[in-house]
A and B are shown apart, each in its own frame.
Chain A
Amino acid sequence: MQRLTVVLVDDHAMVRSGVRAELGDAVEIVGEAGDVDEAVRVILATKPDVVLLDVHLPGGDGRSVLDACVDQVPNTRFLALSVSDAPEDVVAVVRGGARGYVTKTISGPELLDSVRRIADGDAVFSPRLAGFVLDAFTGGVAESDDELDRLTPREREVMRLIARGYTYREVAAELVLSIKTVETHVSAVLRKLQLSDRHELTRWASARRII
């Protein structure tokens, strides 16, 4: 099997070398970048399978990289990697086109698993991101007709299990589903997170852009 190509974008060289060491030989790191301009240049030049993208970068943020790249490299998937827990950071990059969000405390094998999943076109939700989704899609707004504004009961169950720290495999076992079905649900939630007009989401996203 061809090894996955990965670009690391993080302004701290120490973080980059740490991630590089954790991913090891399982993937091929084809480029690294420390700021927005460099990241855009490297991503457009190498067209990697996966970009590991820091949320905060000098010269902008992860969102600026996504805005500049997403349309031009349709086969590249972006996984946000951040130390920040702030909902507006998370929601901004996911709405900018990232297919997942994990924190830098993630273990090496888990990170590798996430990279593979992202490369397959699936979404990767950390427990915290699942919590944000539940928070944003729960209550507040009166029932909307738009299916983008609501989670199905099944999607809600999946999100709750992920928030409780279950892996996809464990979620599948708990709900008696196939892993593929769980992945489908998570991707559907990701799509809603990216496209919904729910005011909690737009508020977070717009707050981030103003700052």
Chain B
Amino acid sequence: MRERRESGDDRGVSIATAPPRATRPTRGRMVAGVARGLADHLHLPVWLVRVAFVVMALAGGMGIVMYAAFWAVLPLAPDAAGDATSEADVARARSSDFTRLLALAGVVIGVALLLAAMGVSAIGGAVVPIVIALVGAALVWQQADDDQRSTWSATAARAARETAGTTAQAGRWRIVVGIGLVVLGLIGLLVSRTGPAAAVQALATALLLLAGIGLVVFPWAYRRWREQQDQRRALIRSEERAEIAAHVHDSVLQTLTLIQRNAADPREVARLARTEERALRSWLYAPEGDPSRTFAARLLRDAAEVEAAYSATLDVVTVGDGTIDATLGALLAATREAMVNAARHGGGIASVYAEVDDTSAEVFVRDRGPGFDPTAVPADRHGLRDSVIGRMERNGGTVVVASTVGSGTEIRLRIARPMEGGA
């Protein structure tokens, strides 16, 4: 017996907070998940519910009717956080398809045999066609379930699109086979009741009728479908708008309020505006890397932090990028120190330029401050000697400090990057 209970417990927790409502789970089910859903809802072992259904089915067929009614009424449970979209789940669902089909066929054949045994004379020799039609109908029903589930999956994660594609194909085949079985069964029923000649005539009538109904229903169904599409698009748009509104409220409006409150302090106003600009920019033009992993993203974040701490303006330009390793880590630490120096002593405005390629990395931090004589480093520049020069030299890098009194300072950092796998 295929038992997969791992998601059942999670569901129990989430149901505890929401008003309890029975649903049909997508996993750990034999036919359509009715027994599993009821068992979860009533906190009963699932086998008990299943046995109850079977007993009721045998005792006059009530179980079948109830099962069908619950199938129609109980909504399908959405999976938590799209966990049904992983490839393992898709594979599992596919392998369990066969089991479920067997179970389904067993149920239907059981009903048919039951009816036959009960001697329902009206049906007479038509047991086989009815069984075929019922199996077909059950197939189509179950596919409707799976379609609903895959709609959720699709919104939860697009990663499973390829696997979803093959699933959709299999689903189409199931629908075709299901419809085919239903039609076959009904035709068989017809033939067995009336004989071939009358059956053809009846079929023609039925087809004509179907065509008529289709003609009437199609425009309405099409319009409904279009409306649904429009609604979905409108929903997406309003969600986007809500997200932007939330962001603007959290960041821009807050900053504007702070600016009004600090209107008398131009330095603070400039700092607030600059910080907000950075935040908004990184939100609009989503940063291309993760600051904990890639060089350029980390440099931008460090610069933003230095700006915020020292009310400075740092214009950062990066060319190339790399994953942070020991070498780039040392360069980043030295760069940060150089930026702090520029922010504190360099007049508050500095240009930072970084270039990273496979063999080396360079950073230039240039300010337009008063400048100094590098041969006579003042006492307050010990940070430069220890944190910048010392750190770079320990990692095999070089530092050039170019400063002219009156026209600013440029700190040039250069470090060789170890080859892949070597050194």
Q: Which A residues are closer than 8 A to B by beta carbons?
A: 84-86, 127-128, 130-131, 134-135, 138-139, 160, 163-166
Is the Cβ of B317 less than 8 Å from the Cβ of A128? yes
Q: Which residues of B contact A84 (CB under 8 A)?
A: 285
Residues in A with CB closer than 8 Å to B318 are 131
Q: B357: which of A85, A131, A138 is its contact (CB, 8 Å)?
A: A138
Report A125 CB to chain B, min CB distance, Å.
11
Pairwise interchain contact A127-B285, C-beta atoms closer than 8 A? no
Q: A127 contacts B353, CB within 8 Å? A: yes
The answer to whether A135 touches B353 (Cβ under 8 A) is no
Contacts A/B (CB < 8 Å), 18 sampled: A85-B285, A86-B285, A127-B317, A127-B351, A127-B353, A128-B317, A134-B319, A135-B319, A135-B320, A138-B319, A138-B320, A138-B357, A139-B320, A160-B353, A163-B317, A164-B353, A165-B351, A166-B366
Enumerate chain A residues within 8 angstroms of B315, measured Cβ to Cβ: 127-128, 165
Q: Are B317 and A131 in contact (CB under 8 A)?
A: yes
Using Cβ atoms and an 8 Å threshold, which residues of chain A touch B281? 85
Instruction: Please give me the 6 A-B residue pairs with the lowest Cβ-Cβ distance, nearest first.
Output: A165-B351, A131-B317, A164-B353, A164-B364, A134-B319, A163-B353
Q: Look across to chain A and name the residue whose beta carbon is closest to the beta carbon of B313.
A: A105
Q: Nearest-CB distance from A206 to chain B (Å)?
A: 18
Is the C-beta of B145 less than 8 angstroms from some C-beta in chain A?
Answer: no
Question: Of A128, A160, A166, which contacts B355 at CB under 8 A?
Answer: A160
B410 within 8 A of A: yes
Docked-complex contact A139 and B355, CB < 8 angstroms: no
* A171 shortest CB reach to chain B, Å: 12
Bound-state CA distance A86–B286 (Å) is 10
CA of A164 to CA of B354, assembled, Å? 8
Instruction: Decide: A164 near B357, CB < 8 A? Known: A85-B281, A85-B285, A131-B318.
Output: no
Closest A residue to B285 using CB positions: A86
Chain B, residues 23-49, CB within 8 Å of chain A (1/0): the string is 000000000000000000000000000
Given contacts A127-B317, A131-B317, A163-B319, 12 further A-B contacts (CB under 8 A): A85-B285, A127-B351, A131-B318, A131-B353, A134-B355, A138-B319, A138-B357, A139-B320, A160-B353, A164-B351, A164-B410, A165-B353
Could you tell me the distance between the alpha carbons of A166 and B408 in the complex, rounded to whole angstroms?
A: 11
**Which of B317, B357, B364, B410 lies in contact with A130, CB distance below 8 A?**
B317
Contacts of A135 in B (CB 8 A): 319-320
Distance between B35 CB and nearest chain A CB, rounded to angstroms? 52
